[in-house]
Every structure is written in structure tokens, then in C-alpha cells.
A = this chain, B = another copy of it.
């Protein structure tokens, strides 16, 4: 939540001049993005009627080689009707350019706000939007491997080590064995597409019960669509601590998804395992961040146990949370 690089008005004005979007009117650094800096930019617009954009500077983690995938995906999805911001190309046609060795891209601004406490109607709309995204992504010609799959979660937890994990919480070390079991039993051969894999409420813009935008595709990769559903289910259907599952939200999310793209039986059967794997991804990254963040650093560490609790819920509930008729 920060702007890592200072871009002065002069830098911004000359950058904006490379696009056909009119002149710079206003620029505010926005407190979004963990690994990049973002500005909300207003210009006079190509037609003089005013226009707004998100300018993103990629600070770290994102490999330059991946940018054509991420930015091309936005173009593909928005062109196919998914509520996703398109990439603005500069006059030369480039989707990104370099400033002081860092890549920057101009992205369409979409209205809407991120909800904290979704209603079933909102969850249903999010499920439908995810399915629309999967459908729109189907003929996207590029591929990207999931670098944060169950194998990587296992490696991260092993690398932290049981002793260090125990300093965070006594129940954390057993996640290593859990990850090993899940990795061995991971479903293979499920239908794939480009997946968002990080569709938290923060990454969905809504107005009322309509999805106006899905954003932050920087974990997007080619994976099982059912895994993307599992991530979204785990991210939306619980209170913050993961202690309370909201059946109505989970059910609405799945129903919304299936209103656009029905699941096949093998996908549905795999959801309990995929959901545990989704939880483990966040357990692993949060545990690693927790152990690497100095105690007196001025950033809030996210508790990995929030996702251990979700994982236990999924492990115990079996396929019950995913059956439309179950109660």
C-alpha cells in the first residue's frame, strides 16, 4: 500500500504525451498494489471530454517477460466483453514503456468500489463475472505457468521450516505435511483457462450488485478453472479471521458461476482439495512474509492462521460447501 517511486509532474506530463489521451490534468498516487506503484491520472481526453486512467509502475516481483502476457490479457478480456480494464497503447503501439529502467503501463480506469461484506446478490455477480472471464479467456493465445501452485506452497513452507513456523503459531508446522499430502493428491486433467487466482474483494469493483471491474491480474496464469473458483470461494465466503463460513455467500458465488458456465462433475468433486490448496497458498505466502517482516516495521503483517482456519473448514466439510442442494 504505497507509492514507491516519485514521479514529478514533469515526468508524468511527458509520459502522458506519448499517448493519444490529451493533456495531463491531475495525478494522485494511490494506496494500492503491494509490488507496484499506481497513480490515478486525469487527462483532457483524446476528444477533450476528459478521461481517467490508472498508471502502473512495476517495481518488483513482476518479470518484464511476463508483461506482454498480463497486458495482452487485459486487452483480450475487455475486447471479449469481460469487465476488465483495457491497456492503453502509446502512439507507437507499445503496451508498456520504460522509465529509468522500470516498466510503466497506462490502464483504463473503471468505476466502482470494493465491498467488505458482500451480500449474496453481490457474490452471485462475482461468480458470474469470474465465469465470464474464463469464457472470454478461452481463446487467449498466450500461456503462463502458475508459479504459486501447491508444489511451490510446499517448498515455501519447507523452506520456512517447522521451528520457525511454530514461532508464529503452534498449529502452523503441521501445514507442511498437509501441503505434502495435497500435492500428492492434486487433481490432474481438469479443464484449464487463464485464471485470475487472486480474486479477493479488493480486486473486484462493484456498483450496487453489479461488477464494474475485475482488476490486478498480476497473478494470472494458465490453470484449472475450478482452482480459480476455489480461490474465490475461500476469499469471499468467510469472515476475515476465517472462523465463520457464510454458506449463503459461498452458494451464491457458485450459483453465479454456474449461471454462465456449469461445472462438470469432476470439477465439482475436486473443489474440496482445490480449496485446501488455495488456502495453503495464502498460508505459505503469509507465513513467509510474517517471518521476514521485522516486528517493528510500519506494515501490518497478515496472520497466516486466517487461512489455516479456512483450510480446516474445507478439510472437515468435504464436498458439503460446494453442493447446491446441501444444507
Contact = CB atoms under 8 A, between A and B. Distances in A.
A29 B30 contact: yes
Interface string A187-215: 00000000000000000011100000000
A324 interface: no
Which of A113, A114, A206 lies at the interface centre, i.e. has the most chain B CB atoms within 10 A of its CB? A113
A12 B112 CA distance: 12
A28 B32 CA distance: 8
A111 B1 contact: no
A115 interface: yes
Contacts of A30: 28-31, 40
A114 B9 contact: yes
A132 interface: no
Nearest to A37: B31
Contacts of A26: 111-113, 205
A44 B206 CA distance: 15
A98 interface: no
A147 interface: no
Contacts of A207: 25
Interface string A100-138: 000000000001111111000000000000000000000
A40 B30 CA distance: 9
B27 A113 contact: yes
Copies of this chain, whole number:
2
B29 A1 contact: yes
Contacts of A10: 115-117
A10 to B, nearest CB: 6
A63 to B, nearest CB: 23
A116 B28 contact: no
Given A26-B113, A113-B26, A299-B298, A31 B9 contact: no
A324 B114 CA distance: 54
Interface in A1-50: 1-3, 6, 8-13, 24-32, 40, 42
A294 interface: yes
17 contacts: A2-B31, A6-B116, A8-B115, A9-B113, A9-B114, A9-B116, A10-B115, A10-B116, A12-B113, A13-B113, A25-B112, A25-B207, A26-B112, A28-B28, A29-B32, A30-B40, A298-B298
Interface of A: 1-3, 6, 8-13, 24-32, 40, 42, 111-117, 205-207, 294, 296-299
